[in-house]
Amino acid sequence: MKIHPRHYPTIILAAFVVFLLLGLLLGFSPERGGEGGGRGFLFLLEAVA
Amino acid sequence: MTAKTYSLAKSRRAIQWIGVIGAFVLGLRHIMPGEASRGGSFDSFCPFGAVETLLPYILTGHTLKTTNLLNFSIMLGVLGVALVAGRAFCGWMCPLGAIQDFLAAWGRRLSGERNHMRGKASKARFPIHMPAAADKYLRYAKYLILALILVASLYAVYPPLYEFCPVRAVFGFKMTTLLWSVLITFIVTSAFVERAWCKYLCPLGALLAIFNKISPLRLVVNHARCNGCGRCDVECSMGIQDVPERLRDAECIQCLECLETCARDDSLSLKLGWK
Ligand code: SF4
């Protein structure tokens, strides 16, 4: 499908925002203190196991 | 070019300026007291911070100092762009890429260019073209840097790039001697060689390069229309030669300056889909 160049900026900005929001919804947001923290994927697997 | 009335270049400049101003605001916030208690440090807004902290996070459950989980969300945003449009983040959104474009334009103006004629080789002395052999091999350096950073991150407390990160040097405002050296090198190299850091050094660009091969939103050439005039090659800041034949090149930052420059309707166009 051909895309008009006019729509290109909107498409890439939308892609950025949607995936950023997805990340935030998944819980990848800053904790207070601004560094470190969180439980890693291995810990998650461990917990599941 | 399909629509002469619409300027892709102007839209790109506008988005680049937003990125640059955003980075400066984060830099200002960085020098104000208590930034960490207001959602994270300067580094936690860096998409590459996610790459630097990924392995330590997987292995220990903790991110490196000055990064936090926000890095992963920002990186997801960048990956979203890459999944749709390859390295478009580099060409449109990266504040460091934007500053390099501005510096190259200033370099051109200071070294003799009065009016830039789109598609015509500039008479300015700068930016220069690297010798082809050096250019070819130097482009691999960014992949090596990416690999080194991933290995170093396993032993690091701070992100491996922390002390000499060009983004901190340009936008961070908390300068050290090392960062001053990085800043001066950055300014000089960017004015001398167009997008030098994207071509040779940027590990994020190295990571995103693979997406140029698979992203559905891409440039296509209509060989029946293209007459091989080479105007697009002249405008390519990444120094890609024979652009119409290399539209999936890993080096392409999807700036679309070639599309903007093409004088023949429907020769280059944007397409969504893999077929
Ligand atoms: S090939 Fe075209 S879109 Fe890619 S970097 Fe060069 S000018 Fe930009």
Q: Dump pLDDT digits (tens) for B238-262.
A: 999 999 999 999 999 999 999 999 9
Phi/psi at A3 (5° precision): -120, 135
pLDDT at A32: 44
- Cα–Cα distances in Å, from B33 out to B24, B38, B39, B175, B263? 16, 10, 13, 16, 53
Find the residue in A nearest to B220 (Cα): A2
How many Å lie between the alpha carbon of A10 and the closest alpha carbon of chain B?
10
Kindly state whether residue B250 falls inside one of the protein's structural domains. Answer: no
Q: Dump pLDDT digits (tens) for B124-181.
A: 999 999 999 999 999 999 999 999 999 999 999 999 999 989 999 999 999 999 999 9
Most trustworthy range by pLDDT among B40-49, B108-117, B188-197: B188-197
- Residue B19 sits at the vertex; the CA angle it makes with B26 and A11, to the nearest 5 degrees, is 135
Does the pLDDT at position B265 exceed 80? yes
Kindly state whether residue B243 falls inside one of the protein's structural domains. Answer: no
Enumerate the β-bridge partners of residue B217: B272
ipTM over 0.90: yes
pLDDT at B25: 94
Q: Are B44 and B70 in contact (CB under 8 A)?
A: yes
Give B88 Cα–ligand 1 centroid separation in angstroms. Answer: 10
Percent of chain B scoring above 70 in pLDDT? 97
CA dist., res. B17 & res. B199, Å (int): 21
Does the pLDDT at position B1 exceed 90? no
Q: What is the mean pLDDT of chain B?
A: 94
Which of B43, B79, B56, B45 shows the shortest CA–CA distance to A41?
A: B56
Phi/psi at B142 (5° precision): -65, -30
Kindly state whether residue B239 falls inside one of the protein's structural domains. Answer: no
- DSSP for B119-176 reads TS----S-SBPPPHHHHHHHTTHHHHHHHHHHHHHTT-SS-TTGGG-HHHHHH-----
Q: How many CA atoms lie within 13 A of B25 on its CB side?
A: 7
pLDDT at A45: 56
CA dist., res. A31 & res. B68, Å (int): 7
What is the tally of helices (H) and strands (E) in chain B?
13, 2
- Cα–Cα distances in Å, from B189 out to A4, B180, B183, B233, B245? 35, 14, 10, 21, 28
Does the pLDDT at position B32 exceed 90? no
Does the pLDDT at position B2 exceed 80? no
Kindly state whether residue B238 falls inside one of the protein's structural domains. Answer: no
Kindly state whether residue B185 falls inside one of the protein's structural domains. Answer: yes
Q: Do B37 and A15 touch (CB under 8 A)?
A: no
A36 pLDDT band, cuts 50/70/90, is very low
Mean pLDDT of A32-49: 50
Q: Are A38 and B57 in contact (CB under 8 A)?
A: yes
A34 pLDDT band, cuts 50/70/90, is very low
Kindly state whether residue B76 falls inside one of the protein's structural domains. Answer: yes
Q: Do B68 and A11 touch (CB under 8 A)?
A: no
CA dist., res. B136 & res. B187, Å (int): 22
Does the pLDDT at position B3 exceed 50? no
Q: Print the domain residue range for B76.
A: 3-210
Q: Do B6 and A5 touch (CB under 8 A)?
A: yes
CA dist., res. B228 & res. B231, Å (int): 8
Q: Dump pLDDT digits (tens) for B65-101.
A: 999 999 999 999 999 999 999 999 999 999 999 999 9
Kindly state whether residue B236 falls inside one of the protein's structural domains. Answer: no
Does the pLDDT at position A48 exceed 80? no
Kindly state whether residue B133 falls inside one of the protein's structural domains. Answer: yes
Of A5, A6, A12, Cβ closest to residue B84: A12
Does the pLDDT at position A16 exceed 60? yes
Mean pLDDT of A21-28: 95
CA dist., res. B227 & res. B192, Å (int): 31
What is the tally of helices (H) and strands (E) in chain A?
2, 1
pLDDT at B4: 56
Does the pLDDT at position B46 exceed 60? yes
- Cα–Cα distances in Å, from B110 out to B102, B103, B236, B251? 12, 10, 20, 27
Does the pLDDT at position B40 exceed 80? no
Best mutation site among B236, B251, B268 for ligand 1 pocket (most ligand atoms within 8 Å of CB): B236
Q: Is B202 helix (H, G, I), strand (E, B) or coil?
A: coil
pLDDT at B33: 82
pLDDT at B166: 96
Tell me how far apart the terminal alpha carbons of chain A are, to the nearest angstrom: 45
Percent of chain B scoring above 90 in pLDDT? 89
pLDDT at A49: 61
Per the structure, the count of domains in chain B is 1
Q: Are B87 and B212 in contact (CB under 8 A)?
A: yes
Which of B225, B207, B237, B236 shows the shortest CA–CA distance to B263?
A: B225
Which residues does a 6 A CB cutoff place in the pocket of ligand 1?
A: B 235-236, 238, 240, 243, 252-258
Chain B interface mutation, best of A28, A39, A44, A46, highest count of B Cβ atoms under 10 Å? A28
